Chain A
């Protein structure tokens, strides 16, 4: 039985299931793993770790990618 947890993804609070991995979250959000970087509680993850790292209650996940930009 998977329990409901609350996490923050890209600054937004979301209900999620415990016992799942970062890879599961990306799949659920329909995000391809190539060309994204994932930061879990300020730790940048290796892409190879997406399938192993469990998501826990209160986790803060940042999913980053490239967008158009020159300078700012």
Chain B
């Protein structure tokens, strides 16, 4: 599948698995897990620098921005104002114009506030950002995000960190059929089969963090996810057989006694 490249806003991505960098034991484990996953896009959060303990290492000392596409997010932002402020800070910190836009609506579910999301996307796109929005599995909202200029849409599979897997494959499928930009299934994946399923549905990529970082053996899970995403993509391209209620023999009748 060497010609099967993912292109978003003119940028080419080698990997269809994107990973977050939170919740790992330490930076060494983060780095190793990312390497094993084969991901070339990694998400990071924007936070205050620890000014009292300067001995703390920097994540980007481990994750080389020349080797990976660093995708800053607006994780933890519940208002349009905050999401816009964090996006601007991320850009000022100097990685790129890319932002994974989150405007959250509720602390318990971490579901997106889709009205706020569209509003924030509009503001940021006007300022030249490449906005990749974390959104609900709602095809209409996904289309509105494309209409305001998002070059890809990132619908959730299930609540962030829940590990529930693909909760609404039919909505995701509708999004994939209706929306003419790349669809990255983001959040909710629990294990490798979930990632494969998302790709079989026709997702262009899958983004995950907790499923790898929270596994008992994050490094083994990182590798499992690499194969799952690859297998799912291949299966999607191959075209699965239709589901039928009754059996169809796979050996010929001819030649039987």
Contact mask for chain A residues 59-72; partner B; CB cutoff 8 A; 1 contact, 0 none: 00011111111111
How far is A30 from B44 in the complex, measured between Cα atoms in Å?
A: 22
Contact A63 B48 (CB under 8 A): yes
Q: Which of A9, A34, A37, A71 has the most CB of B within 10 A?
A: A71
Contact mask for chain B residues 173-200; partner A; CB cutoff 8 A; 1 contact, 0 none: 0000000000000110000000000000
Contact mask for chain A residues 9-27; partner B; CB cutoff 8 A; 1 contact, 0 none: 1111000000000000000
B15 interface residue per 8 A CB criterion? no
Closest to A64 in B: B89
How far is A36 from B49 in the complex, measured between Cα atoms in Å?
A: 8
Contact B94 A47 (CB under 8 A): yes
Q: How many residues of A are counted as interface, with CB atoms below 8 angstroms from the partner's CB atoms?
A: 28
A45 interface residue per 8 A CB criterion? yes
How far is A58 from B48 in the complex, measured between Cα atoms in Å?
A: 19
How far is A67 from B160 in the complex, measured between Cα atoms in Å?
A: 18
Q: Which A residues touch B203, using CB under 8 A?
A: none
Q: Which A residues touch B92, using CB under 8 A?
A: 37-38, 44-47
Q: Which A residues touch B102, using CB under 8 A?
A: 71-72
How far is A71 from B102 in the complex, measured between Cα atoms in Å?
A: 8
Q: Which A residues touch B49, using CB under 8 A?
A: 10, 31, 36, 63-65
From residue 10 to 63 of chain B, which have CB atoms closer than 8 A to chain A?
Answer: 19-24, 27, 30, 43-49, 51-52, 54, 58-60
Contact A35 B58 (CB under 8 A): yes
How far is A70 from B42 in the complex, measured between Cα atoms in Å?
A: 8
Contact A65 B58 (CB under 8 A): yes
Known contacts A71-B75, A71-B134; is-contact A9 B93 (Cβ 8 Å): no
Q: Which A residues touch B44, using CB under 8 A?
A: 66-69
Q: Which of A38, A47, A65, A70 contacts B46 (CB 8 A)?
A: A65
How far is A39 from B88 in the complex, measured between Cα atoms in Å?
A: 10
Known contacts A44-B88, A69-B21, A69-B45; is-contact A35 B134 (Cβ 8 Å): no
Q: Which of B23, B90, B110, B213 contacts A37 (CB 8 A)?
A: B90
Q: Which A residues touch B163, using CB under 8 A?
A: none
Known contacts A35-B94, A47-B94; is-contact A68 B24 (Cβ 8 Å): yes
CB distance from A55 to the nearest CB of B (A): 14
Contact mask for chain B residues 90-111; partner A; CB cutoff 8 A; 1 contact, 0 none: 1111110000001010000010
Q: Which of B19, B46, B48 contacts A10 (CB 8 A)?
A: B48
Closest 7 CB pairs of A and B: A70-B20, A70-B209, A69-B45, A72-B75, A37-B92, A68-B21, A37-B93
